[in-house]
Amino acid sequence: MTTIFDAPEDFATTALAGFYAIHARNARLVKGGVVRSTKVPRGKVAVVIGGGSGHYPAFAGYVGPGLADAAVAGDVFASPSTAAVARVCRHADQGGGVLLGFGNYAGDVLNFGLAAERLRGEGIDVRVLPVADDVASAPVETPDRRRGIAGDLVVFKIAGAAAEAGKSLDEVERLARLANERTVSFGVAFGGCTLPGAAGPLFTVPKGQMALGLGIHGEPGISEEKIATAGELAKLLTGKLLAERLAGTSKVAAVLNGLGSTKYEELFVLWTKVAKELAEAGLEVVDPECGEFVTSLDMQGCSLSLLWLDEELEALWRAPCDAPVLRKGMIIAAEPATEEIIEAEGRQSFSPASSASRDSGQCIARLIGRIADALKDAEEELGRIDAIAGDGDHGQGMRRGSAAAFDAANAAVAAGAGAASVLAAAGDAWADRAGGTSGAIWGLALRSWSNAFSDDERASDAAIIKGARLALDGVTRLGRARIGDKTLVDALVPFVETLEEQAASGKPLSEAWNLAAKAAKEAADATSSLTPKLGRARPLAERSIGHPDAGAISLALTARVAAEFLKEADA
């Protein structure tokens, strides 16, 4: 919801003042709007646009060279008054006439139309252009009943580029009308927006549903459907627009617009699917844009706009512009790089190994396979424990990491690697595939452990015990966690210490390991009574008291699996 304001009724004018304070390089504040802050040649056609507030970057964010000369801003979701439109136009007029662009809504049609009449009476040539791109709002037979949504960006960009190129008002009007006739949009909403000061949203969409054919003033859409996957959504959006494809077109400009709370990365995900659909329809996409261009406060949803290009429109769409909403063209002269990107990986071949060390390597690979099986079984449980105080992905990370480590260990074995190389390769793969902190910790632990081995000799009991200490050192040196921080270190320290003590007291490795694994399990369970380390947010910390740490639990589990493996190897 809209949360930041002082007096709700001052929201729009204060927002405009703040815009000006930030974007003074682009725009100057006048009563009811903004005008370009840079010199404009005498006689240039002025492109003046506008509408209600609540749609930023529409409309003030469109002001700048190559786009709009001025923008008029009404109250939130309300048309600016006739007087405000006329006033802003008087500031913007350079003697070349004015093209007035706005969305096709009753209030805007009225106010911009009346302002145009007034200005004509004052001797300023003004043409009006109501943008009407939303295919959901009226059938194709009555295009002038269609609303304007994110097609605004497309149509205003064409008009702005034509005016910047010094074309006459007749020409600018012709090109803008052509762009308007050839621009189609369709959108969906996942949730409504809340006006400043309002207690609730203007509309709601039932959980799990999406509303088709949204408007940008809280109009919720014309029908509802179950929320689609990105792939299905791309088919829906492109399908509605391709149904109106202009015969003979092979190129389109495309704008994937977020309404406010649907974020960039979601739009990027969707764009990969939209691009696929357009390519399959035989269309070449020219300079696609993906982001927030016409929003509706904090509304959730998105829309796709397409402009069926011809040569003339393509050149205007590609032309440079420099406004907060869109910047095209180069600031710092930069040539495209031409060399191919070749994936530069670290070493993949292994140094020659002795037969004894290769045997140990095989043994290590088998053990990692056993660990991977156990972690796969434990994935859900580890995720559940992690979700109490974290984001619940620990089980998934451990499963992915150990499986990748097993594959890498097998590949190393197959390539004839010795004990040190097999374990190092497993560690690197674990870290690379598991990701996150625990992936790095496990990768580091295995790689550090491998430093106790060599590719010339068999992995001796002494080397294994020394490796455990190296792993602990590596983890505490780079991981920064201390005992008591409620991390895997809480289980790793007693494990390593017990292993060393029991081995020093003469116990065989499998027995010493078994006792160490038990110590790790006890310590992991005891993390229930600990609070997480500093830096964690307080409420999460409180939630996690009484629950063991997922990292410590998974370490203890792994130690137990290894203990069983060693016992079998003894037998």
Compute the distance between CA of residue 166 and CA of residue 43 in angstroms, rounded to an integer.
Answer: 8
Task: Name which of 5 and 354 has its Cβ closer to its own copies.
Answer: 5
In angstroms, give the least distance from the CB of 311 to its own copies: 22
Task: Name which of 480 and 567 has its Cβ closer to its own copies.
Answer: 480
Annotation marks residue 547 as catalytic? no
Task: Name which of 424 and 459 has its Cβ closer to its own copies.
Answer: 424
Give per-residue burial for 342-367: e unless 16+ CB within 10 Å, then b. Answer: eeeeeeeebeebeeebbebbbbbbbb
Task: Name which of 215 and 369 has its Cβ closer to its own copies.
Answer: 215
Compute the distance between CA of residue 413 and CA of residue 409 in angstroms, rounded to an integer.
Answer: 6
Helix axes 550-570 and 436-450, enclosed angle (nearest 10): 30
**CA atoms within a 13 Å half-sphere pointing along the CA-CB vector of 36:** 26
Catalytic pick from 23, 55, 91, 217?
217
In angstroms, give the least distance from the CB of 523 to its own copies: 20
Q: Which residues contact 230 (CB under 8 A, 6 or more apart)?
A: 269, 270, 272, 273
Q: What is the 3-state secondary structure (H, E, C) of 406-441?
A: HHHHHHHHHCCCCHHHHHHHHHHHHHHHHCHHHHHH
Task: Name which of 142 and 570 has its Cβ closer to its own copies.
Answer: 142
In angstroms, give the least distance from the CB of 216 to its own copies: 11
Torsion of CA 413, 419, 420, 424, to 10 degrees: 50
In the beta sheet, which residues pair with residue 210?
225
In angstroms, give the least distance from the CB of 380 to its own copies: 15
In the beta sheet, which residues pair with residue 254?
306
Which token pair is 492? Answer: 């790793």
In angstroms, give the least distance from the CB of 97 to its own copies: 17
Contact present, 459 and 360 (Cβ < 8 Å)? yes
Question: What number of other Cβ atoms are within 10 A of residue 335's Cβ?
Answer: 6
In angstroms, give the least distance from the CB of 568 to its own copies: 32
Task: Name which of 75 and 564 has its Cβ closer to its own copies.
Answer: 75
Catalytic residues: 217
